[in-house]
Amino acid sequence: MTTKPSSNQLDGCVVSEHTTATDIGISMFEKGGNAIDAIVATILAVGTLCPYHSDIGGSGFALVRTPDGEHHALSFRGCAPVGQPFQSQVSS
């Protein structure tokens, strides 16, 4: 396992299953972006670099702290299409 020294200039943390995707997320902070910029960049990079793990239509969770100190939990979990019967998703 390789590690990189942390940057003292970051205002957040980026973690993903692919080092390059993580680096892309970190670069958003380094360019003056915020956590949402880093999340979106990292998700798009993971979808490109590891399409077998995730894709743009995938699901996820995020914990976000706003600059004024508020905390939010985001859930962007996948769901079935409106017309999809529940039983079609249950294995027999």
pLDDT digits (tens, 9 = 90+) for 46-83: 888 987 776 556 677 778 888 899 999 988 776 666 77
8 A C-beta contact, residue 46 and residue 17: yes
Share of the chain above pLDDT 90, in %: 23
CA distance 10 to 83: 44
- pLDDT at 71 (0 to 100): 93
Which helix (H) or strand (E) segment holds residue 20: the answer is: helix 19-30
pTM attached to this predicted model: 0.58
Over the stretch 21-46, which tens digit does the pLDDT of each residue have? 999 999 999 998 888 899 889 988 98
Q: Residue ranges of the domains in the chain?
A: 19-80
CA distance 90 to 92: 6
With b for 16 or more beta-carbon neighbours within 10 A and e for fewer, the 67-79 pattern comes to eeeeeeeeeeeee
